[in-house]
């Protein structure tokens, strides 16, 4: 079945709110309990100065994960660099972290500079004490009922909930030691990050989502897509960035469809096959690129329909959005998402594998399986390079639930107005041609979010604005007994279980 580093003393000073209010907004860091966050300060090690903390870390409030000095990339003598600290928030509250810029050997000399940051930590600690027995029982009994007629069905089910009524992580049949810090593949939930990246650039005026993809990037003399044969796809002059976001551009989906036989593809060695399977059979470590994937559509003149006339889900459309992010930002897709969305939001357990040989999940991880004909097969390792920007992210429940809440609260770098744009045009009746907005979908009873499916893993991530509840649910088992039909049934079972637990939570007035 296929498919730097020095450590510093920490000075954490709790001060009255009236003093904290003097800090500017850009020096306030908002983070959830259990999340990592980063503090960065400009420094120049060539002068002998370094940023330090004056007192030891309050280990009840924060944990120092690492600290490093990163030299300027120009490598010029005396160019300086940055000091970076990664810390983990352990307890809710407001705390000021203060820094002094000193030469370590000058003990009685006042600091050359001082900086302070207000750390606003919200939420309840997510630990084993947050496992609510009645929720666990529902999860276990319902999952057992689903798998009762499936011998050797190895996989389990896990759910992370973040709500005003409680913060919980529950799991069944995933082993005794699985926590919300274990990694798994989120597949198409990756699209929420790609869409957020595009919308962040739109928010900054670096692009306009209503531009055609053949228009020039604002302030640059180049178009959003390269003027090369690889991007000479059908109707390219009619496609807007918004259409790509909403799966309304008619981009033929290389990931989920075999290559049809037409006058352009007839003599291709992969005609009638999955292009991804064809290439991986030749080299399982092949690194796919945006240019290559879109190039298959161009060389074979493949398209679903004239842009703007219909809806058809397309992973390859999101590959094109990844390319646009790179051309507008001047960074690789991975670096842009990391620098602009992951690090600022403390999502430091989230990775974006892009090389064909980078097939293992970070430790610790949840193994993935497929089940068919009464047998389970492990499929944890996977070449994620064809799925960059549309489905390659690996993360943890802890990181993903934080992303979900921050995104839909307008606290992840995107304004609430931008989130409204992403939700606009989504009919709440859930009709199939209108339930998808700008990188997010609407599910009746669940709210806004996305689902993801990659061999061995199914993931749901949704936010319900009516109850201010975010949840992540995942299974590490694909039921492929009847192909897509059985996978769809498994997803429906997951949604039903999630809804039952959420309904129970809404009637539970006890908050952890």
347, with CB counted inside 10 A (0-12, 13-18, 19+), is buried
Structure confidence at residue 80 (pLDDT): 82
- At 63-114, the pLDDT tens digits run 888 788 888 766 566 668 889 988 888 888 888 899 999 988 888 889 999 9
Question: Would the CATH topology of 12-122 be identical to that of 184-506?
Answer: no
Structure confidence at residue 426 (pLDDT): 63
Determine contact, residues 247/317, Cβ cutoff 8 Å: yes
Q: Which residues make Cβ contacts (< 8 Å) with residue 144, sequence separation at least 6? A: 172
Residue pointed to by tokens 């959003």: 224
CA angle 414, 15, 348 (to 5 degrees): 40
Structure confidence at residue 16 (pLDDT): 26
Domain 184-506: top CATH class: alpha beta
Q: Shortest CA distance to 290 belongs to which of 240, 338, 255, 342?
A: 255
Q: What mean pLDDT, rounded, does the chain reach?
A: 87
pLDDT grade for 4, boundaries at 50, 70 and 90: very low
Determine contact, residues 200/414, Cβ cutoff 8 Å: yes
Q: Shortest CA distance to 457 belongs to which of 477, 484, 471?
A: 477
* Distance between CA atoms of residues 233 and 438, nearest Å: 22
In terms of pLDDT, which residue wins out, 444 or 348? 348
- At 379-393, the pLDDT tens digits run 999 999 999 999 999
Edge-to-edge strands, sheet with 166-172: 166-172, 157-163, 469-475, 457-464, 447-454, 441-443
* Distance between CA atoms of residues 350 and 193, nearest Å: 11
pTM for this predicted structure:
0.77
- At 241-252, the pLDDT tens digits run 999 999 999 999
Domain ranges of the chain: 12-122, 184-506
Domain 12-122, what architecture?
Answer: Sandwich (2.60)
Q: Which residues make Cβ contacts (< 8 Å) with residue 424, sequence separation at least 6? A: 437, 438
307 pLDDT higher than 90: yes
- At 127-144, the pLDDT tens digits run 433 567 889 999 999 999
Cβ neighbours, 10 Å, residue 482: 11
Structure confidence at residue 130 (pLDDT): 59
* Distance between CA atoms of residues 335 and 385, nearest Å: 15
Structure confidence at residue 436 (pLDDT): 87
In terms of pLDDT, which residue wins out, 105 or 378? 378
Average pLDDT for 3-17: 23
Structure confidence at residue 77 (pLDDT): 60
**Letter string b/e over residues 112-124, b meaning 16 or more CB atoms within 10 A of that residue's CB:** eeeebbbbebebb
Determine contact, residues 340/446, Cβ cutoff 8 Å: no
Q: Shortest CA distance to 164 belongs to which of 428, 376, 470, 414?
A: 470
- At 145-169, the pLDDT tens digits run 999 999 999 899 999 999 988 889 9
């Amino acid at each position: 079945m296929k498919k730097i580093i020095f450590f510093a003393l920490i000075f954490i000073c709790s001060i009255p709110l009236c003093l904290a209010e003097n800090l500017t907004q850009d020096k306030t860091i908002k983070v959830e309990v259990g999340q990592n966050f980063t503090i960065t300060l400009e420094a120049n090690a060539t002068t002998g100065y370094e940023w330090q903390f004056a007192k030891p870390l309050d280990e009840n409030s924060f944990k120092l994960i690492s600290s490093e000095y990163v030299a300027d990339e120009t490598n010029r003598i005396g160019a300086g660099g940055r000091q970076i600290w990664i810390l983990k928030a352990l307890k809710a509250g407001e705390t000021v972290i203060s820094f002094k810029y000193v030469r370590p050997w000058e003990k009685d000399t006042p600091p050359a500079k001082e900086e302070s940051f207000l750390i606003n930590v919200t939420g309840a600690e997510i630990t084993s004490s947050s496992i609510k027995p009645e929720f666990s029982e529902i999860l276990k009994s319902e999952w057992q009922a689903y798998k009762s007629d499936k011998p050797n069905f190895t996989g389990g089910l896990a759910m992370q909930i973040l709500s005003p009524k409680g913060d919980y992580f529950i799991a069944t049949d995933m082993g005794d030691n699985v926590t919300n810090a274990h990694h798994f593949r989120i597949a198409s939930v990756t699209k929420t990050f790609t869409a957020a990246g595009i919308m962040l650039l739109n928010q900054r005026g670096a692009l306009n989502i209503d531009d055609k993809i053949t228009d020039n990037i604002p302030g640059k003399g180049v178009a959003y897509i390269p003027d090369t044969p690889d991007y000479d796809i059908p109707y390219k002059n009619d496609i807007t960035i918004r259409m790509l976001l909403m799966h309304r551009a008619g981009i033929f989906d290389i990931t989920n469809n075999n290559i049809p036989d037409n006058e352009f593809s007839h003599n291709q060695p992969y005609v009638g096959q999955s292009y991804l399977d064809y290439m991986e059979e030749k080299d399982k470590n092949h690194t796919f690129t945006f240019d290559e994937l879109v190039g298959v559509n161009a060389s074979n003149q493949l398209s679903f329909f004239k842009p703007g006339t219909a809806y058809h889900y397309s992973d390859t459309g999101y590959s094109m959005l990844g390319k646009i992010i790179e051309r507008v930002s001047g960074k690789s897709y991975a670096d842009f998402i990391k620098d602009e969305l992951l690090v600022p939001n403390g999502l430091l357990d989230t990775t974006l594998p892009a090389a064909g040989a980078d097939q293992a999940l970070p430790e610790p991880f949840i193994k993935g399986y497929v089940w068919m004909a009464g047998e389970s097969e492990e499929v944890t390792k996977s070449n994620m390079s064809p799925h960059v920007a549309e489905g390659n992210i690996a993360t943890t429940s802890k990181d993903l639930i934080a992303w979900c809440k921050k995104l839909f609260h307008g606290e992840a770098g995107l304004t609430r107005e931008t989130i409204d744009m992403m939700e606009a045009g989504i009919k709440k009746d859930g009709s199939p041609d209108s339930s998808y907005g700008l990188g997010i979908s609407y599910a009746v009873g669940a709210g806004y979010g996305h689902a993801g499916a990659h061999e061995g893993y199914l993931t749901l991530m949704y936010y319900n604005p009516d109850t201010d509840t975010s949840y992540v649910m995942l299974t590490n088992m694909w039921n492929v007994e009847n192909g897509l039909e059985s996978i769809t049934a498994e997803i429906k079972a997951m949604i039903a279980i999630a809804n039952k637990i959420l309904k129970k939570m809404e009637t539970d007035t006890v908050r952890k």
